[in-house]
Chains A and B, each alone.
Chain A
Amino acid sequence: MSIHVPEETWFKPPSGAERTWIGLALAWCLVLSIMMPYWHFKGKQNSTGDSYSVTPTAFGARVEQFVKTNKVGETNGIPIVEPSPGGDAYLQAQMWRWYPVLKLKEGQTYRLHVSSMDLQHGFSLLPMNMNFQVLPGYDHVLTITPTIKGEYSIVCNEFCGIGHHLMTGKIVVE
């Protein structure tokens, strides 16, 4: 019994159904283990963790530079910015907004730099439902290729203070 000192000869190899089950479970675990790297190369959506260290001030300056050179309009007081196709795009998270609004071209690939000016934030793209962590001090680079035209909202899904649920932004794909 499990609450008693076991018999002297408790150490014996598994046998019967138990052995079969362990074999099956182990085989399944191995399949899963192989699938993990396999999908990384075969699949089209990965989180590579590509990132560089950056201070919030330096990142803020890059964002301003990016906005100045690529601004094409304004909505709700936030600049709309259209990065050059295939180039770098910047998105700044801060309590409690995503800045600026990005205008991207369908089928073009961008290096989207996301970082935070203050606390941790959660980049959550809706209704696609794709989620990435945004940290101050880390320039998180997401290599993205929008494939469907439309308007997407960005919400924050890492708690960042009392205005957390008001933190939204926008990406437009044309």
Chain B
Amino acid sequence: MSTAIAIEPPARESSPSGLSVGNHPSAGVRTCETTGLPVCLTAQQFIRLNAVIAVVALLAGGVAALLVGLTRWPTVHLLDPVWYYRLVTFHGLNMLIFWILFMEIGILYFAATTLLNTRLFSKSLAWTSFAMMLSGAVLVDVTILLGKADVMMTSYVPLKAHSNFYLGIILVAVGTLIGVGNFFGTLYIAKRDKTYIGSVPLVVFGATAAAIIAVVTLLHGAIVMIPTWLWSLDVIKHVDAGWYRLIWWGLGHQSQQVNVCAMVSVWYMLGTITTGAKPINQAVCRGAFVLYILFINLASAHHLLVDPGVGASWKIWNTSYAMYLAVLASMIHGFTVPASVEVAMRKKGHNRGLFGWLAAAPWKNPGFSAFFLSLLIFGFIGGITGVTLGTQQINILAHNTLRIPGHFHSTVVGGTSLAFMGLAYYVVPLIFKREFYARGLARIQPYIFAVGIVIMSLGMSFAGSYGVPRRHWDVQFAGAQFAAGFGSGAHVMLGIMGVGVVLAFVGLITFVLLVVAAVFFGKKIENRPMTAW
């Protein structure tokens, strides 16, 4: 798109005269030259800090992903078993926890301050949160790389890591909780100081849903991680394996719903920024976010479908009625988001045929392509595989096989991470105020990453359907007591996965290089709008 972003200042759409004054201290705010939105300078500082660490984690996790992926490709079989298991642990934590959480704290700060025209609640809380998260992440990474925590991201007891591993995770979790608290504080002062009139914008509503689920999630994390940490210090003698799994998945699954809420909010935001999309009915969109809050906790049962200790009726109840109401929410967003883009495009005159509006969409804008590809991958591959795997009988075929990473690389990677990449194409010019180099490369980056992840996900899923385990160094079982192995079909699928791994890595490293080059060496954007994508 060659036109600049057309966004009016944050006024009530019905009465622009109702524009409120913010509560910013003098010199604590600037007006964005591109969007006209107010930017709290303290929030901007912490959005930058969190985004930088997020990208560092993405890079670290990405390098590990390449090495791990090339090990799972039987013809390459790159790493030795020790480093394979170590880097699977490292990859899971850096990606799923650090990259995602640092991004999300940045998104929460942005949504609360800029969209509500308020200052950040507390600078010292923001520092505390950031320092705790960062030191926790460093502690975890160092402990893993020293070989003291080869336990996978799930650290299922009684597999034991060095106590610093659990301590690091607790630090990250508490730091995140403090950041979320800062978000709620910001909502509070915005309301108190009447910096906006009426209801909060949809994106803030979605971010709030994410924050609420995050609190519940992190409480589960505290309940399970603190005893486990004490157990690793020999203070507690025993942590029950079944109990650990039950509570851990209260953390592990719900945190995925935080990611979904954050991703959907980013979809709405990028839809608006890139095409001027406007939700058809906000009550529907908001209602869907509420469904996430209400029902997602119970759905974590689908991780325990083939576990002992929990009975059939418990499994059925939690994974049917409750999970499908959360699925309903995604079905609703999957309709309302593209529908809002369609309406906006048709309004601009792109009316040819059923899909003329889609063909005319700004596909060269990486903010748009990343957002829309994320929507497609999450909806068609991630969502469908997820609902399938969550049924009692199919789970017997899929539990702990490569079908599981096949599924979640199309939700949290092809979905959430890709949407966050799309967001970065605006965060860098608007918050870091730097231009991108190699804009042509930036335009194709989302496609490379998306295609790579889709190929990898499908390869994993089909290999898994033969029973190929996840987190497993040798599908040939060389040297095992009894021979075991897989036919050529599974090997072909692992090869396809390997190709996808390489392609996805190229997409990822392109993204990291573009962002690093822009943030540190990009042309400064002062007193002018960003160059439109």
Partners in one complex: yes
Q: What is the interface of chain A, defined by CB distance below 8 A to chain B?
A: 1-8, 10-15, 17-18, 21-22, 25-26, 28-30, 32-37, 39-40, 43, 45-51, 76, 78, 97, 101, 118-120, 122, 124, 126-141, 153, 155-162, 164-170
Q: Does B312 contact A (CB under 8 A)?
A: yes
**Which of chain B's residues have a CB closer than 8 A to the CB of A13?**
283
Q: Which listed residue (B242, B395, B483) contacts A135, Cβ 8 A?
A: B242
Q: Contact at A45–B12, with CB atoms within 8 Å?
A: no
| Of A118, A153, A169, most B-chain CB atoms within 10 Å | A153
- CB-CB under 8 A for A158 and B400, given A45-B393, A129-B465: yes
Closest 5 CB pairs of A and B: A51-B308, A129-B467, A36-B320, A157-B469, A140-B308
As a 0/1 sequence over residues 223 to 238 of chain B, the CB contacts with chain A under 8 angstroms (1 = contact) are: 0000000000000000
| Of B241, B273, B314, B473, most A-chain CB atoms within 10 Å | B241
Task: Please measure, in the bound complex, the distance between the C-alpha atom of A8 and the C-alpha atom of B312, giving whole angstroms.
Answer: 47
* Binding stretch for chain A, among B131-139, B327-335, B409-417, B504-512: B327-335
Q: Which listed residue (A18, A49, A164, A168) contacts B284, Cβ 8 A?
A: A18
**Which of chain A's residues have a CB closer than 8 A to the CB of B7?**
1, 3
| Of B150, B198, B472, most A-chain CB atoms within 10 Å | B472
Q: Contact at B268–A2, with CB atoms within 8 Å?
A: yes
Min distance, Cβ B480 to any Cβ of chain A, angstroms: 4
Which B residue's beta carbon lies closest to that of A31?
B324
9 new A-B contacts, CB < 8 A, other than A30-B324, A153-B484, are A1-B7, A3-B10, A46-B393, A50-B308, A124-B469, A127-B487, A138-B308, A158-B471, A168-B480
**Which of chain A's residues have a CB closer than 8 A to the CB of B335?**
18, 21-22, 25
Q: Does B355 contact A (CB under 8 A)?
A: no
Which B residue's beta carbon lies closest to that of A7?
B14
Q: Does B325 contact A (CB under 8 A)?
A: yes
Q: Contact at A120–B156, with CB atoms within 8 Å?
A: yes
| Of B12, B340, B484, most A-chain CB atoms within 10 Å | B484
Total chain B interface residues with beta-carbon distance under 8 A: 100
- CB-CB under 8 A for A39 and B391, given A2-B272, A120-B156, A165-B81: yes
Q: Contact at A118–B158, with CB atoms within 8 Å?
A: yes
Q: Contact at B482–A153, with CB atoms within 8 Å?
A: yes
Q: Which listed residue (B158, B283, B316) contacts A14, Cβ 8 A?
A: B283
Q: Total number of A-B contacts with CB less than 8 angstroms?
A: 277
Task: Please measure, in the bound complex, the distance between the C-alpha atom of A35 and the C-alpha atom of B388, giving whole angstroms.
Answer: 12
Q: Contact at A12–B477, with CB atoms within 8 Å?
A: no
Q: Does B171 contact A (CB under 8 A)?
A: no
Segment 396-417 of B: residues with Cβ below 8 Å from A: 396-401
Q: What is the interface of chain B, defined by CB distance below 8 A to chain A?
A: 7-8, 10-14, 37, 81-82, 85, 115, 150-152, 156-159, 196-203, 240-242, 245, 268-269, 271-273, 276-285, 304-312, 314-316, 319-321, 324-325, 327-328, 331-332, 335-336, 339-340, 387, 391-393, 395-401, 465-467, 469-474, 477, 479-484, 486-487
Q: Contact at B480–A1, with CB atoms within 8 Å?
A: no
Q: Contact at A159–B471, with CB atoms within 8 Å?
A: yes
Q: Contact at A135–B309, with CB atoms within 8 Å?
A: yes
Min distance, Cβ B198 to any Cβ of chain A, angstroms: 5
Q: Which listed residue (A3, A124, A159) contacts B152, Cβ 8 A?
A: A159
Task: Please measure, in the bound complex, the distance between the C-alpha atom of A39 and the C-alpha atom of B10, giving whole angstroms.
Answer: 52
Task: Please measure, in the bound complex, the distance between the C-alpha atom of A76 and the C-alpha atom of B315, giving whole angstroms.
Answer: 39
Task: Please measure, in the bound complex, the distance between the C-alpha atom of A172 and the C-alpha atom of B419, giving whole angstroms.
Answer: 49
Q: Contact at B396–A132, with CB atoms within 8 Å?
A: yes
Which B residue's beta carbon lies closest to that of A13?
B283
Q: Contact at B392–A161, with CB atoms within 8 Å?
A: no
Q: Contact at A32–B324, with CB atoms within 8 Å?
A: yes
24 A–B contacts, CB within 8 A, in A order: A1-B277, A2-B269, A5-B199, A7-B13, A11-B283, A26-B328, A32-B327, A32-B387, A36-B392, A37-B320, A39-B392, A47-B306, A49-B308, A76-B482, A130-B397, A135-B309, A138-B309, A141-B308, A155-B469, A158-B156, A162-B81, A164-B472, A165-B477, A166-B480
